[in-house]
Each structure stands twice: as structure tokens, then as C-alpha cells.
Chains A and B, each alone.
Chain A
Amino acid sequence: MKHFFLASILAGAMALPAYAADYTIIAPANPGGGWDQTARSLQTVLQQEGISGNVQVQNVPGAGGTIGLAQFASQQKGNPNALIVGGYVMVGAILTNKSPVTLKDVTPIARLTGEFEAIVVPAASEIKTMADLVAALKKDPGAVSWAGGSAGGTDHIAVGLIAKAAGVDPTKINYIAYSGGGEALAAILGSQVTAGISGYGEFEAQVKAGTLRLIAVSSGERLAGIDAPTLKESGLDVVVENWRMVAAAPGLTDEQKAAVSADVEKLAKSAGWQEVLKTKGWQDSYLSGDAFAAQLDKDVAATEGVLKDIGLVK
């Protein structure tokens, strides 16, 4: 027994430098949503590529990720093994929720993926095209209910922009916030709402199965393999990209930050990750270091403008 203990201590000591960190990834949303999928894909690839021995995903849902962000910033301070998934939604949510914890309170590592918004209606809906939806919106904005992610998130912003582009008062939209992708999807499938808006990946399986009709995507150009017009083609000058990033805990030393960045870079360049991007339909938008920091600042400033414009932030 003694030998066993000794051996395991030795083995542990020797293995320590060789093993990369065991990461805990916080997905600040309910299971099933985009951040959850990103976190779980990270988990799979980090383990499968041998970048990390053991990765755990923890869901901390609510309020556009600010609940998870606040908990992450306070509880993981100085922990180099904790990561949080976040993204554009968080930028808006921090503003609308007047969150005391912002992205300045964590250590952004890299932007990983981009995903365009998809607008869907139930298969049985009378609405066949984006033009039909815009017509209904113009007739009575309140009668068109939209199911999407939390208040002030990308989905909400995109609906506001669509309304504005269609010449409808953006403050009049009837937006129903759900805390995660799963519950919103159930509401759309059950025809509880007029339309649904979220990242394409969350609707893909249902669109392919024919239970949802995809009427538009929010990209600048048509997406390969996706049979739907862009909003621009439908006469609405709106392009929204929902990017997702990974951030580390606050209070890390430069070395710790470099180590995490190196792990994330290894991940982003791996064949396994490229495969995930392909199967999930996410665009690779890997951007790290100072370039990402600068882009982040620009996005925060731009988002504040948009939110004020459509009356979500006063």
C-alpha cells in the first residue's frame, strides 16, 4: 500500500509538467444554446487533441450570460484553469443589464467562431418568405412575436435592426426572451410564436427535418450549403454576426495568460476543431491577442450605439 502511494506520488509529480491543465469551462447559458454547444465542442476537441487531460463544462445560465460572467469573475479570480465562453450577446447584455461586471473584468483570450442569425417560422406557418414577415410586421408590429435569446442579446438586436430597416418603430417589436436555445426552440416548434431568431446551428437539425422553415439569414452573402436568401436580398440592409469567444479568469500573470493563449491557439488550429466548425456550420473567425482586444473595444462601442438607437438602452 505504501509503495502504491509512493509510486502514485512519483507518477503524479512526473506527469505534472507533461500534462496540460485540466480546464473547467463555464457555459453561461442553459444547455442546448449556442454557448453551451461551443463549450461542449471545446471540451471534446481539447480532450481529443490531447491539449488537456480532463475538461468539465458547467452551465451557469441567465440574463445574456452576465450571471455566468459575474460568477466567473468573482469565483475564478487568478485560476488559470478556468475558461468562460462568451460572445457578442454578452456585450449587449452587459449594457442592457447595467452589469457591474464587464468584459474588462475577465481576460479575453481569443475570438473563435462566428455564426449568422437565422430567421425561421414553423413549417405550418402562413409566412413563406421574409417579405411576408415584413408585411405582417408593418401591419401590426405587436402581432408578430419573436422568440429568441435573452433581452438585449444578438437576437434581440437583430430583430430591432430588421424592424428599423423595414421602417417600423424598433421599440414596438414584440420580443419574447428565453434564457436558452432549448426552450425557445420548443416555443417555435409548437407555433407559440410567429417567428424565431437564433444562430443557424440551433435550427439546423429542425430545418433539415422540415419542421421549421428557414426564411432568411443575416450574412452579407449567401452561405454555402444553406438554401436561404440573405436579409439584404429581401430588401433589408441588415448584417449581424454573432461571434463567440473564450476568456480566462481575471488576475492571471502574463505567463499564465500566455499558456492559456497557446492552448487555445493549438485548439483553433487543430484538425478536430476545423471538423467541428464544418459540422456545426460555424465560420472560423479566430482572432487573438491585441488584434482581438482592439476589435472587442470597437464592438462594444458600436453595440452601445445600436442599443440606444433601438431603445433598449437609455
Chain B
Amino acid sequence: MTKGLNPSTTTRRPDRAALFIAAVLAAIAGLIFWDVSRLSGAAGYSQVGPTTVPYAIACCLAGLAVWTVFAAFRNDFPEREHQEISPVIWIVAGLAAQMLLLNVAGFSIATGILFALTARGFGKRKLWFSLPVGIALCFAVWVIFAKLLQLSLPAGPLEHLFF
């Protein structure tokens, strides 16, 4: 913990991201304190009631937040690699689309879109190709799991067309 990392960039500027993480940890600790304080601590014969453990966890999180602040000022965090944001956005969009469309469009279409957008995130730009491939693949998976193996996967227009 005492080693100074990344010697070339050791300007004494605190690591902003780490400070943000510390703030989030402190906020979680505060949230736990606030929520648990409303519970009745009645514990019967055990002196450890329903509030004890959450309080302990909140205290530790608060302590870790302070530790993280120190680490931020000492630049103790490992150097972060450059992150491409657009692929992440494509994949998150795919997951969100699947979540919202699942009950409307059925498993095959919703998951096919997730498939195509994930491939897009990894650089396959040809959506006109990957989207049909994804939907066909997901339909095959749906047939195997929902029809053959009786897993409850939501059906939509495409599935109703065949079954």
C-alpha cells in the first residue's frame, strides 16, 4: 500500500475518480443508516438484532470511504487503461432494448436485437446482416428451450407465427 505507483505522472493531484468512489461508498453507508434507523431493534433473546449487522456494514463502508480518500490523494489506484465508450453504449442499448421489448416483441426479436447490437459494439457494423442472423438464432434457441425443454420464455408475434 505504501508504494507510489505510476512514477512518471506523479503530479500530486488527487485521483478524481477515486474521490467519486469514496463519495459513493459514503452515500451507501448513509443510506443504510437512514433506512435501518427506522426498524425496531427488538431482538428477543439475542442481543444482535435486525439492525446490528446493517449498522456494522455501514460503519465499515464509511471507514472504507475514508481509506479511499487517502488512497486517492496518494494516487494509490492502478493506472486505468483508456476505455472506448461507444461500444459500451451499444451493448447497454442492446440490453435495455431487450429488457423493454421482451414482453411485447417476444424472446426471439428482443434477444435478436441484443445480439445484433452487441456485435455492433464489437465492430460488426452491418446490422442488416447481424439482425436477421441474431433473430433466427434466438428463434432456434427459443424453440429448443421453450418448446423442447419447457422453459418459460416469453413468446411474441414471431413465435406465435409458428406455434
Contacts and interface: CB of A to CB of B under 8 A. Distances in A.
Q: Do chains A and B touch in the complex (CB under 8 A)?
A: yes
Interface of A: 5, 9, 12, 24, 54, 56, 142, 174-175
A140 to B, nearest CB: 11
12 contacts: A5-B162, A9-B162, A9-B163, A12-B163, A24-B152, A54-B150, A56-B150, A56-B152, A142-B45, A174-B44, A174-B45, A175-B44
Closest 3 CB pairs of A and B: A174-B45, A142-B45, A54-B150
Main secondary structure of the interface of B (DSSP, over half): loop
Given A56-B152, A175-B44, 10 more contacts: A5-B162, A9-B162, A9-B163, A12-B163, A24-B152, A54-B150, A56-B150, A142-B45, A174-B44, A174-B45
Nearest to A24: B152
Contacts of B152: 24, 56
A56 B163 CA distance: 21
Interface residues of B, number: 6
A260 B34 CA distance: 45
A174 B152 CA distance: 43
Interface string B133-163: 0000000000000000010100000000011
A56 B151 CA distance: 10
A11 B44 CA distance: 61
Nearest to B147: A8
A17 to B, nearest CB: 16
Nearest to A177: B44
Contacts of A5: 162
Contacts of A12: 163
B107 to A, nearest CB: 16
Contacts of A56: 150, 152
Nearest to A58: B152
Contacts of B44: 174-175
A196 to B, nearest CB: 17
Interface in B1-46: 44-45
Most chain A C-beta atoms within 10 Å of own C-beta, residue among B45, B150, B162, B163: B45
Contacts of B163: 9, 12
B162 to A, nearest CB: 7
Contacts of A175: 44
Contacts of B45: 142, 174
A61 B44 CA distance: 23
Contacts of B150: 54, 56
Contacts of B162: 5, 9
B99 to A, nearest CB: 15
A54 B150 CA distance: 9
A11 to B, nearest CB: 11
